[in-house]
Amino acid sequence: MESATGHDARGTLPEGLGDALRATAEEIAAVLRGAADTSVPVPRSEWTVGEAAAHLAQANELMADIAAGRERNYGDGTPQSLAAANERALAEFGERAAGPLAELIVTHTDACLAAFDRCATDSTQTGGGTGDAAGTVVTPLGPMSREVLGSYLLTHMLGHGYDLARALGRPHMIDRARVELSLPFLITVMPRVTDAATTARLTASYTIRLWGGTRFGVTFTDGAVTVTPRPPARPDCTILIEPVTFLLMALGRIGPNGAMARGRVFARGRKPWLALRFPGLFKAP
């Protein structure tokens, strides 16, 4: 249910995000429940289906704790530290069966949504508004509001849900609406996941335009990156990209060459060749 303010009835979440979180968790669970063998390898990953699902269940529990205001240490935000934290967590958690993991993914998503509910209720009772309820929480990728945390949870589930669906030969759950709901997290985290080795001394401006949807700007000034909701007035390169392709590329699941060859990405502007370089400027954790 949605309110007239453009937020979910849950209070702290942008319109549609609560429903998307619940639906995505349920769809991932349905994919898992149909798995007879969780030792199947995940494409382009060192994990099996069981390990990827276990990681997703653990990550959803982590997000629920963070949403509830509980402090959790999980790496320092670098890809290396997050990978190490993932491996430690998996080693300490032995469940690899499809059914129990499916239930945990849904249960921890519900717990996260319940935490958002409580924050909204507490804020209302103390006279605060949605901004107060949104608060700032500390996540594995740095401080962010609870609204962005919800977008983070969705983005993370979509990435691993895509992996599980591919491994098991099932349709994935990424669509245009869910990509749009992932953007608050992606835009927030972009400056935190730039690859210093590839952006050193780079000066260039981009407009990223999702087909039929959001536009935003990414500007590099001598290697320093700024991401803005408003695109630059005269970008060096404008990238027009199909939304699902954008998310898969942002999460490191596909590369730019194949997407361009299939007509899912176009580039224009004074320096259109910068489009091919763009995905490599970031290192997905």
Q: Tell me if domain 17-177 and domain 193-281 are identical in fold.
A: no
194, β-bridge pairs = 282
The residues spanned by each domain of the chain are 17-177, 193-281
Query: Which pair of tokens denotes residue 219?
Result: 């500007």
Query: Where does residue 45 rank: exposed (0-12), middle (13-18), buried (19+ CB within 10 A)?
Result: middle
Compute φ and ψ for 282, nearest 5 degrees: -125, 150
Q: Could you read off the pLDDT tens digit of each residue along the chain, which spans 285 residues?
A: 343 334 454 456 889 999 999 999 999 999 999 899 999 999 999 999 999 999 999 999 999 999 999 988 898 888 889 999 999 999 999 999 999 999 999 999 999 999 998 887 765 555 443 333 447 899 999 999 999 999 999 999 999 999 999 999 999 999 999 999 999 999 999 999 999 999 999 999 999 999 998 999 999 999 999 999 999 999 999 999 999 999 999 999 999 999 999 999 999 999 999 999 999 999 887
Domain made up of 193-281: CATH architecture: 2-Layer Sandwich (3.30)
- The counts of H helices and E strands in the chain are 11, 7
Angle at 238 between CA 234 and CA 239, to 5 degrees: 165
CA-to-CA distance for 174 and 170, rounded, in angstroms? 12
CA-to-CA distance for 99 and 238, rounded, in angstroms? 45
Domain made up of 17-177: CATH architecture: Up-down Bundle (1.20)
